């Protein structure tokens, strides 16, 4: 019997601590100190409580004067599922944010919340074109798979930076979409001057279950 009482007490304490943490995060989000607001937005991203008051607070934080608060608010909104229309509207507005990091956070959040939308794709395609390696890596992990990024990734295989070419090859393999264009581009990459690019292209072809044509 004693162990049941102990377990119940621990569960109650855990729930209380979680509630206090959430209350503190919401309070931080209304602070006059931008660092506190950043902490609050980050904490809500980590906690991911799908509650109307949290959604409302994050929507308001989407207009915060501090770009890091806006970025974390976008990321947090991408993890929640309630208030679909309102959240999508806020995230689409942040695609016009003056800060690149905020726009890209909003774009990734929109891919999760509204993958059928096309508004966010322009931002992520621009990131690929600019050589944002972090975005290219993330594209390979998204669901549903962003096959609309394939033409930009194929073009990145010709970038002057070998590290970027390698990431583009890896991403193409992860997306798993075979087209003659992809096959041709990866075959060329198998002849790249950089051995890491050649290896990534070969592995991408293997993922697609396609042997190199000259192999």
The domain limits of the chain are 10-115, 123-215
Query: What pLDDT is recorded for position 15?
Result: 42
Confidence (pTM):
0.85
CATH class of 10-115: mainly alpha
Helix H or strand E segment including 180: helix 180-189
pLDDT tens-digit readout, 121-160:
999 999 999 999 999 999 999 999 999 999 999 999 999 9
pLDDT tens-digit readout, 33-85:
999 999 999 999 999 998 999 999 999 999 999 999 999 999 999 998 776 78
Query: What pLDDT is recorded for position 177?
Result: 84
Residue 15 per-residue DSSP state: H
The correct CATH number of 123-215 out of 3.40.640.10, 1.25.10.10, 3.40.50.150, 3.40.50.300 is 1.25.10.10
Rg, Å, the chain Cα set: 22
b vs e for 12-39, b when ≥16 Cβ sit within 10 Å of the residue's Cβ?
eeeeeeeeeebeebbebbeeeeeebbbb
> Is the pLDDT confidence value at 209 over 80?
yes
Alpha helices per DSSP H over 29-149:
34-47, 52-61, 67-79, 84-94, 100-113, 121-130, 133-139
- Average pLDDT in the chain: 90
Residue 83 per-residue DSSP state: S
């Amino acid at each position: 019997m004693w162990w049941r009482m102990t377990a119940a007490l621990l569960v109650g304490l855990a729930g209380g601590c979680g509630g206090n943490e959430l209350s503190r995060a919401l309070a931080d989000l209304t602070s006059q100190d931008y660092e506190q607001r950043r902490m609050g937005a980050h904490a809500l991203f980590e906690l991911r409580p799908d509650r109307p008051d949290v959604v409302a607070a994050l929507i308001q934080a989407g207009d915060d004067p501090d770009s890091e608060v806006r970025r974390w608010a976008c990321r947090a909104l991408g993890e929640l599922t309630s208030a679909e229309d309102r959240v999508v509207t806020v995230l689409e507005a942040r695609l016009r944010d003056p800060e690149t990091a905020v726009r890209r956070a909003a774009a990734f959040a929109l891919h999760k919340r509204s993958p059928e939308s096309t508004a966010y794709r322009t931002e992520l395609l621009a990131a690929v074109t600019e050589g944002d390696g972090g975005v290219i890596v993330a594209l390979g992990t998204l669901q549903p798979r962003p096959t609309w990024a394939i033409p930009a990734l194929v073009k990145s295989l010709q970038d002057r930076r070998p590290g970027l070419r390698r990431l583009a090859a890896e991403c193409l393999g992860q997306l798993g979409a075979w087209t003659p264009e992809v096959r041709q581009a990866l075959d060329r990459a198998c002849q790249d001057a950089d051995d890491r690019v050649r290896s990534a292209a070969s592995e991408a072809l293997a993922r697609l279950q396609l042997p190199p044509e000259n192999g």
